Every structure is written in C-alpha cells, then in structure tokens.
Amino acid sequence: MRFILLMCFSVILVFSCNHKKTKRQVESTNKYARHFIISEKPDYTLITINNPWIDAQDIQYQYAVLRNENSKAPNGINIIPLSPSRIATISTTHIAFLQVLNELDNLKAVSSKQYVYSEKFHQIDSKESVTEVGFDTNLNIEKLLELNVSVVFLYGISNEIEPLRKKLLRAGIIPVMIGEYMEQHPLGKAEWIKVFGAIYNKKELANHYFDSIANEYQKLAQETTKSKSKPIVFTGLPWNDTWHTPGGNTYTAQLIKDAGGLYVFHNDTSSINFQYDLEIVYQRAAKADFWINTGTAGSLNDIKGMDERLTLFKAFANKNVYNHNKRKLVGGGSDYMESGVVKPHLILKDLIQIFNQTDSAELYYYQKLN
C-alpha cells in the first residue's frame, strides 16, 4: 500500500513540476525559421538569435524583453525596453516587419531613405523627417545618440559587424541582430515577424499574420504538385564573366520548386551562392524555359548590351525573361526586396503565373522584359 501511495505521489509531483515549468517557461517552436528562438520566462521574454550571418559558427545573441518596469533579467543579457519608441533600422526588410505591426511611427533613423519603398514610411518622413545615419562601419552613432535612439535593428554579413555592435552597446544603444536573410525557406524569413512581435508585445498579431500568409503559401505550393510537367528555370546575370547563382538549398531555389519549376542547379545542395563562368551556366541553362531575377536589367536590350552571348539562351529567344522590378522607385527602392520578406505568398503566386504563362498584367512584383 505504501508503495502504491508513493508511486501516486511521485506521478503527481512530476506532473506538477512539468505543469509549473510549462506555465512559467515556454519555448516556442518555429515552423520554418532556424536562426531564432523565443522563450517565455517568468519575468521576461527571451529572444535568442543564432548564427545571423553566413560564416557564423556557434554565435549567439540573447535579448530580454521585460514584462514590466519591476521585472528583472539575468546579467549578461541585453535588455530591450518594452515597445521601444525610438528606433533605427539598417535594412529595408526591417521596415516591412515594423509596418505589418503598425510600428513605423517609432522609426527615427534609417541608413538611406532613397532605398525605402514603403509609401507609409515616406508619409511619416514628410511629417516628422526620419534621419539618415549611414551603413555598417559608417553608421553615425553620434547622430543616433542625438536622436535618443534606444534600439538599432542591425544585420551583418560577417563578423566584421562585431566592432560596430560593441560600439553601440558602449554608447548605451541596444543592437538587435536580425538574420532573416539567412533563412533558406521563404516562410522562414517571414517567420521573423515573431521576433518583432515579441519586442513590441504584439505576439498574437505577429502569429496571426504569419499563420495567414503561411496558409496561403502552402495552398499555392500544394496546387503545383498536381502539374505533370516542370519548366526549367535559371536566375541572375553575369558580372565580369562571373555568374552568381543561388545553390539548390536556398531561398530562391525553394521558391522555384514550390512554384512548380525545376531549378537548373537544384542538384547543387549548397545553401549559399555559387560563382560560375558564363560558359558553365550556358551548358546548364541554354535550353531552360524561363529566366528570372535579372538584376539591374529592365529590358531585353539591357541584357543584350551586357553581353551578346546572353541572347543565345532559349529563354531569351522566346522572350520568357522576367524580373522583380515592377514595384520599384526611381531612386532605387524595391518593394520586392522590402515587403517581399513578409509577403512570400505573393512572390510564389507571381512565379506560378509566370511558369504557367498566365496574364503578366496580373503580376505583383514581377514583370516580363521586352
């Protein structure tokens, strides 16, 4: 009898402990993103950013968003003020995340306004004048201090960002490393809306937004699996006889696959970009059906002017060349590069329409080059 009672007590104790842990410490499970983790602690939300640039190995940054003014976090963790009201962003993708959460009014500084597409941003700028503070190592920290900025949404392409990050910390400004560009799946990039949602205490809104666009994306991708034929697709343009093209396990390759296409480099399972000679790309893509993402080229004549050999591709001859420059400002602002991070379902929809040769006038980000 004692044994039975002891066993019952043990089960109850274990259940109670697990229930207590679940209630007070919950770690979110991302559906697609691999470079951040959000954990709910008793007094704060812990945001952990992992390896936010290509060559990063075992790099981790942690941030605590306190529940209230009386909450505390362990030493060594950067504390982000709840719903920071004076912020700066270095990438236009950050603007897209903020706009989804209706937090653009808190933006006081950007790297360069000419590269921002958002109409909402330019409306705010015309009224309150958002300040330009430069890029990377040229970031004007003194100007940030004058603006009383408390948080800078930062990104890096290598560990050369570390001196700047540490300089910001010494100045009393929290640099939040955003590494959404590292995600290999389009929905992985979009899922970073949850990081911004945690910072601005809008977790439900962020989750709802992500779930809605993820459902749309998945429905579209599911429809393409019914197609028996897969058009062959290649991307990019050469620069000084070197062609930079994404590996087969990248964001672009995933979009092509989900849109029902067959990427010419799908067997190269790298998650980084390759550099090939034009001749090698021609061997792979000479008979490809579609050519997309043609960089700065806005017409077929632009491509021909770069290199006469580019006219030999079948896709060029058939005028099946498309670029994501339909929504672009004269100054350089690209909506594809900006809001595309939070609207991958619209990019996917465009590619499906392209590969199925539907009316190009209905495309959102892309347009056919003539």
pLDDT by residue (tens digit) across 169-197?
Answer: 999 999 999 999 999 999 999 999 999 99
330 pLDDT exceeds 80? yes
What CA–CA distance (Å, rounded) separates 25 from 23? 6
Question: Are the beta carbons of 182 and 51 closer than 8 angstroms?
Answer: yes
CATH architecture of 24-213: 3-Layer(aba) Sandwich (3.40)
pLDDT in tens, 32-67: 999 999 999 999 999 999 999 988 899 999 999 998
- Domains 24-213 and 227-368 agree in fold: yes
Q: What are phi and psi of 161, to 5 degrees?
A: -80, -15
pTM here is 0.91
- 109 beta partners: 88, 131
Separation CA 97–CA 345 (nearest Å): 15
Gap between the Cα atoms of 311 and 301, Å rounded: 10
Residue 350 clears pLDDT 90, i.e. is over it: yes
Structure token pair of residue 356: 């199925």
Q: Give residue limits of the domains in the chain.
A: 24-213, 227-368
Instruction: State the pLDDT confidence band at 113, using cuts at 50, 70 and 90.
Output: very high
- pLDDT of 147 > 50? The answer is yes
- What architecture does CATH give domain 227-368? 3-Layer(aba) Sandwich (3.40)
How large a percentage of the chain has pLDDT more than 90?
79
